[in-house]
Amino acid sequence: HELLQQSLEQTITTDDNSRPSIQFDTLKASYPSENGENTMFNQAFKQLFKDAPIKFRRADERLWHATYVGMHSIDAGGPYRDSITCICLDICSTRLPLFILCSNGRTGSGLNQDRWIPNVFSPKESIPNIYRNQYRFVGQLMGMAIRQKHYLDLKFPALLWKQLVRESITLEDIEAIDMQSFTIIKEVEMQIEQSQLIDNDIDIDFLFSSIMNELRFDVASSAGQTYELVPGGKDIPITAANFKDYCRKYREYRLNEFSRQIDFIRQGLYSIVPSYYLSLFTADELEQAVCGKGQIDVELLKKNTYYGGDFHEDSPHIQRFWTVLNDMFNEEQRKSFLIFVWGRSTLPTRDADFTSKFGINPYYTFHDEIDRVLPRSHTCSFTIDLPEYSTIEIMEERLNYAVTYCSSIDAD
């Protein structure tokens, strides 16, 4: 880790210390738009992409100053973190044309149903320049996360991280996001094997015509389009003579379906973090360096918490709070809580990476109102004003309502 840190320090930009001011229009972002034109991601892309190779390598806790149009928040850290959270929400969504939900997610079957994969483009056509640069911008944001340890909530499957570090992906990696991807091929291979065991004189061509009479030399992509595996493939039936060639080309397509898109992401990543530095990563290590731990580590947060007023770690009220967060909230609620108090959905992975501690302060109000008021957060300072609710059930209900409906940056 020391060697890796030295590599980052040696490539810090020192000739540009200015922090750009980035305008975000959340009202505009709330309206649907063609190709994600209005999204927070695209607003950031237009203002940051060109200078990112310099700006994202600065030794600054915040790489831009986030200004929210029509809001009165002052960016002491909260709006900046919130803007990154919103950008990540756009990346893994249908609002942009860059990524799509994996096949398992669209069919509601198998594992990894919440994983997003690069959108699919025809193998015969070039990817439009705007999309190439937007994929590069995704890579630049990954590089920023590695340098700043401001982790991104990106729900990408293992095969994407593997390809970024040039690890070979396997058919199992593809099946992990598309359990039906090789079903037909496997069934035919099994049928041939079983038939030959029973009767060596079986007519293999008849077997193919009965099982695969509607299949041709083409493939259904992860996005549902059909592409020819060879010129004129839509008119070439699958026979015993060409079945092995079909299997080879089919698997080759599926193994390389996203390679161009991932190349562009890697280019953006390399523009922020040296390629030799990344060559030391495994896929799992890269994912953790970019995204932090997959789950909110409540014990780690607890170790990096201070208490204001009369609160202390052993206060019954504080004990109830940690019980709610750890035992009564699910993972999505814990992420929502973190967004509510800090404007980000992931924690650092270790104590040393906390740039600020989490603070729990008293919420002062009249005693007879205490169970009716909601907790109040300050994302810039990573603190919460917590009323001393009379029961743990009321605390759970009030906290859940606040993190679900009140996580607006305008309250900062």
Cα–Cα distances (Å) from 96 to 30, 37, 146, 291, 335, in that order, read 13, 8, 24, 20, 23
pLDDT along the chain (412 residues), means of 10: 76 77 92 92 97 88 86 68 91 96 88 91 94 98 92 93 95 91 80 65 66 83 93 90 90 94 98 87 92 84 93 92 93 87 77 86 88 88 92 94 72 43
What pLDDT is recorded for position 346?
76
How far apart CA 396 and CA 63 sit, in angstroms, is 35
| pTM beyond cutoff 0.75 | yes
Ramachandran region, residue 112 (left: φ > 0; alpha: ψ -120 to 50; beta: rest): left
Domains of the chain by range and CATH? 2-168+258-291 (3.90.1750.10), 183-255 (3.30.2160), 298-411 (3.30.2410.10)
Q: Is 247 a catalytic residue?
A: no
What local confidence, expressed as pLDDT, does residue 410 receive?
A: 41
Q: What is the pLDDT of residue 197?
A: 60
Pairing of strands 21-24, 65-68: parallel
Structure tokens at 390: 């009379």
**Dist CA 314 CA 352 (whole Å):** 24
Alpha-carbon distance of 105 to 119, in angstroms, equals 14
Cα 30 from Cα 79, distance rounded (Å): 17
What is the SS3 assignment for 291-339? HCCCCCCHHHHHHCEEECCCCCCCCHHHHHHHHHHHHHCCHHHHHHHHH
User: What are the start-end ranges of the H helices in 23-170?
Assistant: 26-29, 40-48, 52-55, 78-91, 103-107, 129-148, 158-164
Quick check: helix, strand or coil at residue 4?
helix
Q: How many CB atoms are located within 10 Å of the residue 42 CB?
A: 22
pLDDT score at 409: 43
Annotated catalytic residue, options 88, 102, 380, 406: 380
CA pair distance 22, 50, nearest whole angstrom: 13
CB 334, CB 344: distance < 8 Å: no
Q: What is the DSSP string of 236-277?
A: -B--TTTHHHHHHHHHHHHHTTTHHHHHHHHHHHHTTS-HHH
* Region for residue 270 given its phi and psi (left: phi exceeds 0; alpha: psi -120 to 50; beta: otherwise): alpha
